[in-house]
Amino acid sequence: PATNGQFMINPDMNKGTQADIDLIGAATEQDILMGEVEIKEVQESEMIEAIKLAHEAIKVHCRVLNELSAAVPKSQVKRSYQHENKNEELEKKIFDFCYQRYYDLAMKPSSKEERSANFSQVKEDCLATLSEEELADKSMLNRYFKKAQKKAVRNVVLDNGVRLDGRKPTDIRPIWCEVDVLPGTHGSAVFTRGETQAINMLTLGSSLDEQTIDLATRKGSENFLLHYNFPPFSTGEVRPIRGVGRREVGHGNLAQRALKPVIPQGEANPYTIRLNCDILESNGSSSMATVCSGTLALMDAGVKITAPVSGIAMGMISDGSRHAILSDILGDEDFLGDMDFKVTGTAKGITATQMDMKVDGLPYEVLAQALEQARQGRLHILDEMLKTLDKPREDYKPHAPRIVTFDVPKESIGPIIGPGGRVIQEIQAETGAQISIDEVDGRGIVEIASENKASIDAAVSRVKAIAFPPQADVGATYTGKVKTIMPYGAFVEVVP
């Protein structure tokens, strides 16, 4: 992480949470392999500097591991494992039949559905030429078909600079956005890029709705939540919808980290914010569509984010001597390519990145090219988003909860809550408002939330009457009401 311009390797948890750059990287001695970065609007050059520093530390670890490995004698007994079946003659036969056909199909722009049908037809035509014996091992056959298809598609990009849908390497798919698509929510937005579409729904809540965090490394609460859902119909599948998987958890976490730096904190945002994103159709970059639709939903709800955020997924195809950096990758380009590099940020700088390499590593000059191409791409996407809604709405939706926050003396916290919570529960039941009270820095902080202004006003009046009881002035004359008569005197209410 980097704090105040100073980089730290393996900091403690407190310093890590305060850093402007929080980077976790994996690498060989030669090149970078993976990276997870959470950043507070930092420039691309600073991020590369942080990665280089992390790489130097990783090189030390690699050398130690190599020394340890060299010190341990090699085992005389080699472990055996089940190798995949091979048939070089069959592999060549399939390659010779399919490669050029796949190449020609990849040269023609097509949709995901058309492309899948065309590639499947080539496979069926080839299968018709094989003998019964050659058709026996379906796993081996599928492996050879995928290998031929992968090589053809990759060579089309490297030879001609043409992608499966006809775009050039730097082109972004057509973008369409709409906000306030679900009028019953506190904020909503749809973001569509090519054949990928995401709808984000926003809900505002009070501090009582914050998520409690109780981990070994962190305790506290979280007032900004984002949940990512990838239903099977988004890819044309029919299967049961069960609990979330690793993919949904990971994509949701990335999108949350991308948007978190622009969420206002403290008095600027009294709400707990939950974004729920459903992917309606998917052909690559669905997590980045989540970020873009999340930004629009936040602005539609009236949340005063510090800056809008957009995201882009980058890819790479390389044969060792040549490479092509691809902007806004398709699902097939992710599967057939050598890199999945997601970058999110504002016009000012990066907020989060996630990089996975499928080859031995990524040279720094290629990383710099990918980051610059990503910057240009995400700024184009941001411009398209801002055509729909260029800033947060002036006010929250009429049906969104209103929150009033004020201070009370620390000594009044007990009377407001009452024995066993009786008083505060009674006020909530009679006014219909939600009330929370906490002690912060020696003072009581009261938060009252409701969709109804009259409800809030009534609750505020009741709480303030307890916290700031009216005082009678000495020497003044009042008309009192006798409340109780006792043998030793009477209780008179002078000030209600």
pLDDT tens for 120-162 read 999 999 999 999 999 999 999 999 999 999 999 999 999 999 9
Q: Which residues contact 368 (CB under 8 A, 6 or more apart)?
A: 44, 48
Would you identify the CATH topology of the domain 402-493?
A: Ribosomal Protein S8; Chain: A, domain 1 (3.30.1370)
> Looking at residue 362, what DSSP letter applies?
B
Q: Which of helix, strand or coil describes residue 292?
A: helix
> In this structure, which amino acid lies at residue 386?
L
> How does DSSP assign 335-348, residue by residue?
HHSSEEEEEEE-SS
* CB contact at 8 A, 280 and 234: yes
Residue of 256, 365, 385, 375 whose CA lies nearest to 327: 375
User: What CA–CA distances, in Å, run from 18 to 40, 159, 186, 220, 261?
Assistant: 10, 47, 31, 15, 12
Is CATH 3.40.50.300 the classification given to domain 175-236+244-386? Answer: no
Tell me the average confidence (pLDDT) per consecutive run of 10 residues in the chain, 496 residues long.
72 73 90 90 91 93 92 79 86 96 94 93 94 91 95 95 94 97 95 97 92 86 94 90 88 96 88 96 94 98 96 93 94 91 96 91 89 96 97 92 91 92 93 91 90 90 90 85 91 81
> In this structure, which amino acid lies at residue 235?
T
The helix (H) or strand (E) run that includes residue 407 is strand 402-408
Q: Where are the domains of the chain?
A: 2-69, 88-160, 175-236+244-386, 402-493
Question: pTM of the entire structure?
Answer: 0.87
The dihedrals phi and psi of 476, each to the nearest 5 degrees, come to -85, 160
The structure tokens listed for 137 are 């091992």
* Rounded Cα–Cα distance for residues 87 and 71 (Å): 39
Q: Which residue do the tokens 């219909």 mark?
A: 432
Q: Which residues contact 255 (CB under 8 A, 6 or more apart)?
A: 226, 228, 277, 287, 290, 291, 294, 311
The pLDDT, as a whole number, for residue 442 is: 85
C-alpha atoms less than 13 angstroms from C-alpha of 273 in its C-beta half-sphere? 30
Q: Which residue do the tokens 């009042």 mark?
A: 478
> In this structure, which amino acid lies at residue 390?
D
Would you identify the CATH topology of the domain 88-160?
A: Arc Repressor Mutant, subunit A (1.10.10)
* Rounded Cα–Cα distance for residues 140 and 91 (Å): 9
* CB contact at 8 A, 6 and 336: no
**pLDDT tens profile 69-91:** 889 887 777 777 778 888 999 99
